[in-house]
Amino acid sequence: MSFLSATLDRVQPSATIAVTNKARELKAAGRDVIGLGAGEPDFDTPDNIKEAAKAAIDAGKTKYTAVDGIPELKEAICAKFKRDNGLDYAPAQISVGTGGKQILYNALMATLNPGDEVVIPAPYWVSYPDMVKLAGGTPVFIEAGVDQNFKITPDQLDAAITDKTKWMIFNSPSNPTGAGYTADEVKGLTDVLLKHPQVWVMTDDMYEHLTYDNYVFATPAQVEPQLTERTLTCNGVSKAYAMTGWRIGYAGGPEKLIAAMRKIQSQSTSNPCSISQWAAVEALNGTQDFIPENNRTFKRRRDLVLKMLREIDGMTCPTPEGAFYVYPSIHGLIGKTSAAGTLIDSDEAFATALLEEKGVAVVFGAAFGLSPAFRISYATSDEALKEACTRIQEFCANLT
Ligand SMILES: Cc1ncc(COP(=O)(O)O)c(C=O)c1O
């Protein structure tokens, strides 16, 4: 009898965390490494949010709370959904968990049965397929390549849906590509979903506030109110408020689903950290002024990276509408050999050789389900980005 659960055979460890750890190890061993793997803002959490957390500690808000969130946070989330998305959720339709990750996981655990299919556009955030498998479901992928700006079409969605489809996961702006769907493009997809009443939408709006140029964010339930009764609108404070370590994510959805998610959470982690919840109340209710400021910095960095990568022959890089990632396609570099003699026969080989030969850590595209490509996170300093892109240029110039 095996000690370890057979469930483990169904899942992979997170490739993005693996790259971050590898870069950290090399750095600790004295190597000059620039890490472009991390999926978190390099900004500090704003002071007003930190003060709210300190005040919560001093006021003794350090005990268990209601399993899926304190009433004050649920009220703040309802107000946020109304303010930003025009969505009317009541507190009983809100769930708060330990990061957006737990919210998505709870929802899949609460709904999937063996044989249930979940449609996932690729490239995708690394955790979706493994969470689906952990919950006993089957991921079904729709590929959206660089030629379609990493966005799926309504026809592709229609073709992927079967009578076993339970969910479609929708993430815009996307990790790993930064691609953001316009309201019209979302409407194209929601029109298809209207024809398939058995399919629910799990929309991951984690990067809602990190958008650039004239892009206007739109979420499915806002674009198509008829879908609200089968939509789980997921979001969180991790990215927009630089609060990745605080672990607060949330969702709005039908009360029956929210209650089922609460049941899962009540027998696993119980409430998310009480202090973090009070910090999140301040994040959502307090000033939002630093968001456009941070976005100006992110946009400058995005443009810097795009300009330098576009100077490389064999690389194609569309302009992302949001998030803090770019996802260069490297079709033109596959089959070449690096200066140290490594055959670049895959994007994993590309990323490994780039790390070993030039000390630049990126995540290879296969981890996100679309190759050959790699992901750069530009949530780091301009200096580090310039140096990293110069090294990538040199690495590629030396490919033969
Ligand atoms: C698309 C997407 N969804 C969800 C998450 C998880 O967010 P959290 O840190 O709040 O669990 C991430 C974090 O990288 C993400 O990129």
Residue 151, token pair as written in the block: 């966005």
125 lines ligand 1 (CB under 6 A): yes
Find the length of the chain: 400
Question: Going by CA atoms, what residue is nearest to atom 7 of ligand 1?
Answer: 100
Q: Is the pLDDT of residue 336 over 90?
A: yes
Give the SS3 label for residue 141.
strand
Residue 212, token pair as written in the block: 């650039």
Q: What is the mean pLDDT of residues 361-387?
A: 96
Give residue 151 CA to ligand 1 midpoint distance, Å.
Answer: 19
Residue 391, token pair as written in the block: 């090294």
| 101 CA: nearest ligand 1 atom | 11
Give residue 223 CA to ligand 1 midpoint distance, Å.
Answer: 23
Q: What is the mean pLDDT of residues 335-342?
A: 97
Closest CA to 204 of 236, 227, 230: 236
Residue 322, token pair as written in the block: 């949001």
pLDDT-based confidence at residue 18 (cuts at 50, 70, 90)? confident
206 lines ligand 1 (CB under 6 A): yes
5 CB burial (10 A radius; 0-12, 13-18, 19+): exposed
Strands 200-204, 231-236: pairing is: parallel
pLDDT-based confidence at residue 9 (cuts at 50, 70, 90)? confident
| CB neighbourhood size of 235 (10 A) | 27
C-alpha to C-alpha distances, 291 to 77, 197, 247, 283, 286, nearest whole angstrom:
17, 37, 19, 11, 12
238 lines ligand 1 (CB under 6 A): yes
For the chain, domains (ranges, CATH) are 6-44+290-395 (3.90.1150.10), 63-285 (3.40.640.10)
CA distance 20 to 38: 6
- For residue 3, the 8-state DSSP code is S
Provide, rounded to the nearest whole percent, the portion of the chain with pLDDT above 90. 92
Give residue 178 CA to ligand 1 midpoint distance, Å.
Answer: 13
Closest CA to 43 of 245, 248, 205: 245
Q: What is the mean pLDDT of residues 155-165?
A: 98
For 44-56, b where at least 16 C-beta lie within 10 A, e where not — what string? ebbeebeebbeeb
262 lines ligand 1 (CB under 6 A): no
Q: What is the CA radius of gyration of the chain?
A: 21
Give the per-residue pLDDT at 12. 79
Closest CA to 391 of 42, 35, 38, 41: 35
Give the per-residue pLDDT at 71. 98
175 lines ligand 1 (CB under 6 A): yes
pLDDT tens, 50-76? 999 999 999 999 999 999 999 999 999
Q: What is the mean pLDDT of residues 15-41?
A: 85
Question: Going by CA atoms, what residue is nearest to atom 13 of ligand 1?
Answer: 39
Closest CA to 200 of 119, 265, 129: 119
Give residue 313 CA to ligand 1 midpoint distance, Å.
Answer: 32
Residue 306, token pair as written in the block: 């795009």
| Contact call for residues 231 and 201 (beta carbons, < 8 A) | yes
Residue 161, token pair as written in the block: 């849906």
pLDDT-based confidence at residue 166 (cuts at 50, 70, 90)? very high
Contacts of 210 (CB under 8 A, 6+ apart): 173, 239, 240, 294, 295, 298, 322, 323, 324
| 237 CA: nearest ligand 1 atom | 10
Q: Is the pLDDT of residue 20 over 80?
A: no
Bond preceding residue 123 cis, omega within 30 of 0 = yes
| Contact call for residues 80 and 222 (beta carbons, < 8 A) | no
Segment among 12-26, 180-194, 196-210, 296-310 with least mean pLDDT: 12-26
| Higher-confidence position of 225 and 38 | 225
pLDDT tens, 78-134? 999 999 999 999 999 999 999 999 999 999 999 999 999 999 999 999 999 999 999
171 lines ligand 1 (CB under 6 A): yes
Contacts of 246 (CB under 8 A, 6+ apart): 45, 53, 237, 238, 273, 276, 279, 280
Give residue 396 CA to ligand 1 midpoint distance, Å.
Answer: 31
Q: What is the mean pLDDT of residues 42-48?
A: 96
Reading phi first (left if > 0) and then psi (alpha if -120 to 50, else beta), residue 242 is in left
Q: Is the pLDDT of residue 397 over 90?
A: yes
Give the per-residue pLDDT at 39. 86
pLDDT tens, 189-237? 999 999 999 999 999 999 999 999 999 999 999 999 999 999 999 999 9
Bond preceding residue 254 cis, omega within 30 of 0 = no
Bond preceding residue 328 cis, omega within 30 of 0 = no
pLDDT-based confidence at residue 24 (cuts at 50, 70, 90)? confident
